[in-house]
Amino acid sequence: MLNLEGVATARTCNGVNRRDFVQVGALGTIGLGLPQWLRAAEQGLVDRSKDNKSCILIFNLGAPSQLDTFDMKPHAPAEVRGPFRPISTSADGVQISEILPKHAEIADKIAFVRSCFHRGAAVHDSGWQIMQTGRLFSGGIETPHVGSAVWYLRGPRGDLPPHVVLPETMGRGGGNSPNGQAGGFLGKAYDPFALMADPSQPSFRVPDLVPPESLPVARVNRRRKMREAVEASVRAFETSEATKLMDEHFETAYRLMTSPQARDAFDLSKETSAVRERYGMNRFGQCCLLARRLVEAGVRFVTINTFLTVFDEITWDIHGSKPFTSIEGMRDVVAPMYDQAYSALITDLDQRGMLPDTLVANLAEFGRTPKVNPAGGRDHWPQCFTVYFAGGGVRGGQVVGASDPIGAVPDDRPVEPAEIISTILYGLGFKLTEHLPGPAGRPFPIVDSGFREISELF
C-alpha cells in the first residue's frame, strides 16, 4: 500500500520511494488492488433486497473417507467397513462415526448428502475445481469460485471484502493445475481476500488492514495530504500498473484499508479465552472463529481450507503411508481438531441467532476407496462421497441420498457438483437463471442448464 502520510527517504531509479513501492504491492494483495475491488463490485448485478444471507464454505482438503466418517457400512466386510464403529446422533435414525462425537451431538442441525459423485479425474486438482465452481476447467477457461460469483452479483457490504479465504488459498495438488479458488474469467479483481496468516499464533495480525505506524488514526487534512503524496510518488510511472490505484476509488480504497469495521472483524483478541479455546487453539479452530466474526461483521462469503496441502501435513488424505496420512492419524489428529471446531461454529452461530441466515457447507474433492489398501489407508474415489450442510434454511437432522452397500456408488438420489453449487447459490437467495459476463463477453450461466438445488434440503 502507499504510505500516504510518511516522508519518503530512499528512491529507486524511477524516482519512486522504495518503501512506497513495496507498500503498493502489499495493497494489491487485497483482491489484487482495492480500487479494482471496489470498481468491480459496482459493475456487478447487485440486488440489495437479498442482502442478509451469508455462507461459510469449509473445504476439507484431502478428502475425508465417507466410510470412516458419515456413511459407515457396519455390516460390510472388514476390508470395507474399516476400524471404526457407528454411533447414534441427535438426529433420529442417523448414525455417524465414533471419531466425530461432537458432530453426533448437533446432527439434528445437519443435513448429510451421501450420494455425491463427479466425473472428474481422481486427482486433487480436478476435484478442487469442480467442487468449488460446479465445472471442470477446459479449453483454458477457468470458472470463478462460487464465492467470487457471489461477489460479482452482490458486491460488498460496507467496508468488508465480499469473499475471504482462510487461512490462505490452497496450494497445488500434484497436478500443477488451477485450484478453483480464484475469480477465474471474471478477472483477478474478483480473487478472494486471502488472509495469508495463521490466526492461532500469538503474533497474528492482518498487515494489509493495519495502517503503517506513521499513519495517525485521524487526520483532518488526510484528503489533501493523500493527494499530495500520490502526486509526488507516482508522477514518474504514470503508465505503470500502480497508476490504476489513482482513480476515483482511491479514497474509498483507503477507507477500506483503514476501516475500524474491517480491523475489528479480524481482531480475535476481542474474543474471550474461553470462546477461543472452545473452538480449539489451532489453525483450523481459529479460522472457524474468525469466519463467524467476519460473517457477523458483514462478509458475504468465507471459505475455510481445513488444510493447505496434502504433502507436508497430516490431512484427510489417508493413503496410509508417508508422506500421506494413516487412518490412525485421521483418528488421533485430524478428526478431534475438526470435530471440535465445526461443532463450536455451529453452536455459536445458533446461540447468536445467526444460523438461519448463515449457510455452512462442508465439501471435499472426492471420497475414498471402498476397500482399505495394503498400506492400511484408502485412496482417491470420486465415484461416491458425502457432503453436508447446516443453517441458511437447511432442514437439519436428515440424510439425502444413499450409497450402495459398500459406499462405492450412489444407490439413491445421485448428486453432482453443479447441484451442490446450485444449493449454495439458492441458499443465498440467487435465481439460478442469473448470468455472469463470460469469456469473449458472452453471458455465462452461474450454473449449467438442467441443474438445480438439492430441494430436499430446504
DSSP secondary-structure letter at 334? I
Strand order across the beta sheet in which 110-116 lies:
193-194, 163-166, 301-305, 54-59, 358-363, 385-390, 110-116, 398-400
Mean pLDDT lowest among 74-78, 219-223, 232-236, 325-329 = 219-223
| pLDDT score of 158 | 84
Residue 414 has pLDDT above 60, yes or no: yes
Of 452, 338, 260, the C-alpha closest to 68 is: 338
Residue 30 has pLDDT above 50, yes or no: no
For the chain, the average pLDDT equals 85
| pLDDT score of 172 | 80
Q: Among 3.40.50.2000, 3.40.50.300, 3.40.190.100, 3.40.720.10, what is the CATH number of 52-200+280-457?
A: 3.40.720.10
Mean pLDDT lowest among 235-249, 292-306, 326-340 = 235-249
pLDDT tens, residue by residue, 198-228? 999 999 988 676 655 544 544 445 555 655 6
| DSSP per residue, 228-288 | HHHHHHHGGGTTSGGGGGSSTTHHHHHHHHT-HHHHHHT-GGGS-HHHHHHH-SSHHHHHH
Grid cell in block for residue 325: 496420512
Mean pLDDT lowest among 31-45, 71-85, 346-360 = 31-45
| pLDDT score of 262 | 87
First to last CA, the chain: 44
How large is the average pLDDT for residues 158-180? 90
How large is the average pLDDT for residues 247-260? 57
How large is the average pLDDT for residues 190-198? 93
| pLDDT score of 277 | 98
DSSP secondary-structure letter at 65? -
| pLDDT score of 50 | 54
Domain locations in the chain?
52-200+280-457
How many other C-beta atoms can be found within 10 angstroms of the C-beta atom of residue 201? 11
Contacts of 413 (CB under 8 A, 6+ apart): 115, 400, 401, 402, 456
Residue 11 has pLDDT above 60, yes or no: no
In our burial notation (b when 16+ CB lie closer than 10 A, e otherwise), range 303-342 reads bbbbbbbbeebbbbbbbbeeebbbbebbbebbbbbbbbbb
* Beta strands in 8-94, from DSSP E residues, in sequence order: 54-59, 86-88
Residue corresponding to grid cell 472483524: 265
What secondary structure, in 3-state letters, does 386-406 show?
A: EEEEECCCCCCCEEECEECCC
CA dist list (Å): 346 to 68, 241, 343: 22, 43, 5
* Beta strands in 14-135, from DSSP E residues, in sequence order: 54-59, 86-88, 95-97, 110-116
Please, which residues bridge with residue 415 across strands?
A: 116
| pLDDT score of 175 | 79
pLDDT tens, residue by residue, 352-381? 999 999 999 999 999 999 999 999 999 999
